[in-house]
Structure 1
Amino acid sequence: MLLLVDVQRNMLEPPTPVPDAEIVSAALATLLDRARAADLRERGERALGRRSGDRGAGRRHVPGVTF
C-alpha cells in the first residue's frame, strides 16, 4: 500500500494552523511510527530468511529480538 500525504509545517504550526492541527499532527505521527515499525519488521523478516506474511516459516530464535 502506498499512501501519499502532503502536509506542510506551516499548516500545523503557528501563526495560523489549520483547525484541529494538534489532532492532525498526532494522527500523522502515529501513522509514520506505524510505517517505520512495519519497515523494520519487514527488514528483520528478510534478515531471517522469511517472507512477509509467513508466520513462523523459517523462523530462527534470535535472543532479544522479537518480530
Structure 2
Amino acid sequence: MEAKISEALEAQSVKVVDMYGDGRHVSIDVVSAAFEGKNSVSRQRLVYKAIWLELQDAVHAVDAMTTKTPEEAAK
C-alpha cells in the first residue's frame, strides 16, 4: 500500500501501520505536494483512490489518516 500511495501522489513520505496485527485495520500518514490547496476530504479521497483495490479485499478499515503538505509537515 505504501508503494501505491507513494507512486500515485508522488509522496515525500508514506507510513502505513497495521493497527492490530491483523492486516485489516491500518493507520496512514502521507506527506505530499499533491495536497496543496486541497481540503482534508479531498486529500483523503486521493489516498483512498490510490488504495481502492486493497480496500475491497485485504483492508477492512482505515482507522486513522493524516495528510500533510511538505510545508505543513515541516512545522
Whether the TM-score (by the shorter chain) exceeds 0.5 is no
If you compute each CA radius of gyration, which structure gives the higher value, 1 or 2?
1
Q: Which has the higher contact order (CA 8 A, sep 6+)?
A: 2
TM bucket (normalised to shorter chain) is under 0.3
Larger proportion of strand: 2
TM-score by length of 1: 0.23
